[in-house]
Each structure stands twice: as structure tokens, then as C-alpha cells.
């Protein structure tokens, strides 16, 4: 499942412009799938060429034309086929954790600060998900929203209980440097 396919999926929920599709990624899928204009617009062009979506232009008086995309029945069939396939493995990349793997090269204060900031960030994310969750209509969106909260909460607890492993390491390092 690539971004092209997911654009198709978003269009099963109703017609939309490229801009609106981007907003949907940000507001409803940000936890699990990100997409930039640089991938969305080319995706929509390709889908149009292939007859999987259709596009009607709505001219606006003083703004650039809106291009409103609709999924075709061929598009619906293809999307259905795609979600029946076994999904590829998650891709996760964390500069934050990669940095911590070199904690022995960092001053002790920097490590503590990194962890404090991470916890604060996670708390803030949980809070913003809390308010979001209530406004979610479908059970699926509730499910995703609570999934995010659960994972962030687990991370916070892990950091609080295990930060000493990294911080002790750093103390040794700075003592050795004396």
C-alpha cells in the first residue's frame, strides 16, 4: 500500500481536492501515515491517467481552479483488492532513539534533557489526542486514537522507569573524563 493507494482510500469516503486529501492525512492519519504534496499531486495525476479517479475542475472567481477528484468504480475495485493484500511491515525511524544509542558520547545533562523533553512531548501528544478522540465519529477512528494514546503512555512509563540505565552510563563517562 503506497500513498497512491491511500489517496484512493480517502476518496472512497467522498470527493476531495488534493488540498483536502492532504488535510485528511494530517487530521486523521497523521499517527500512522504521512504524505506530502510532493507525493499526493503526482499520485492524483497518475490515478487520473489510469482511470481510477475522475477529475472535474471547478473554476472559482478569484482563486485558482479547484480540481475535485472522485473515485471511479474501477478505482473502488482496485482499492478493495489492495486492502485484501497482506500489509507490508511497519516502517519506524526514530532519530531520537538513535541519538540515545550514542548516549555515552553525550554529557549527562544533555541525556536528562532529551528524556525530559520526550516525556513532555508525549504528554502533550496524549492531551491533544484526548480532545480529538471525542470528536471522532467512527469506531475505527476511536480505535486508532486510543491506540496512539496507549502507545505514548507506555513509552512515558518505560522512560520513567528505565532512564537511569542511560543516565548512570553518562555519569560513568563523565567521571572517566575527569
Q: Which long-range contacts (CB under 8 A, 24 or more apart) does 168-172 make?
A: 169/103, 169/104, 170/103, 170/104, 170/106, 170/107, 170/108, 170/111, 171/108
> Which residue, 93 or 175, has its beta carbon nearer to DNA?
93
Residues in the interface with DNA (CB under 7 A) total 31
88 to 117: interface string for DNA, x by CB under 7 A? x--x-x------------------------
Are residues 97 and 113 in contact, defined by beta-carbon separation less than 8 angstroms?
no
Q: How far apart are CA 43 and CA 47, in angstroms?
A: 6
Are residues 67 and 19 in contact, defined by beta-carbon separation less than 8 angstroms?
no
Give residues 64-123 in contact with its own copies (rule: CB under 8 A). Answer: 79-80, 83-84, 87-106, 110, 114
DSSP state letters, 157-168: HHHHHHHHHHHH
Is 39 near DNA (CB under 7 A)? yes
Give the range of 14-22, 48-56, 128-136, 145-153 binding its own copies by CB under 8 A.
145-153
88 by DSSP, 3-state: which?
coil
Give residues 124-153 in contact with DNA (rule: CB under 7 A). Answer: none
Is 37 near its own copies (CB under 8 A)? no
Are residues 47 and 4 in contact, defined by beta-carbon separation less than 8 angstroms?
yes
> Which residue, 33 or 143, has its beta carbon nearer to DNA?
33
Smallest gap, in angstroms, from Cβ of residue 158 to its own copies? Answer: 5
List interacting residues with DNA (CB under 7 A): 2-4, 17-20, 22-23, 34-39, 41-45, 60-67, 88, 91, 93
Amino acid at each position: 500500500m503506497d500513498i497512491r493507494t491511500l489517496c484512493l482510500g480517502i476518496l472512497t469516503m467522498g470527493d476531495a481536492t488534493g488540498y483536502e486529501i492532504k488535510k485528511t492525512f494530517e487530521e486523521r492519519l497523521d499517527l500512522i501515515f504521512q504524505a506530502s504534496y510532493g507525493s499526493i499531486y503526482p499520485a492524483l495525476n497518475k490515478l487520473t491517467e489510469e482511470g481510477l479517479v475522475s477529475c472535474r475542475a471547478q473554476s472559482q472567481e478569484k482563486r485558482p481552479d479547484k480540481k475535485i477528484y472522485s473515485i471511479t468504480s474501477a478505482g473502488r475495485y482496485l482499492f478493495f483488492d489492495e486492502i485484501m493484500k497482506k500489509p507490508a511491515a511497519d516502517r519506524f525511524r526514530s532519530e531520537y532513539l538513535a541519538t540515545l544509542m550514542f548516549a555515552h558520547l553525550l554529557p549527562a545533562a544533555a541525556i536528562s534533557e532529551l528524556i525530559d523533553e520526550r516525556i513532555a512531548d508525549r504528554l502533550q501528544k496524549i492531551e491533544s489526542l484526548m480532545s480529538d478522540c471525542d470528536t471522532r465519529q467512527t469506531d475505527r477512528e476511536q480505535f486508532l486514537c486510543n491506540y496512539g494514546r496507549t502507545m505514548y503512555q507506555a513509552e512515558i512509563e518505560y522512560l520513567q522507569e528505565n532512564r537511569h540505565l542511560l543516565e548512570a552510563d553518562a555519569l560513568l563517562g563523565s567521571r572517566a573524563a575527569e
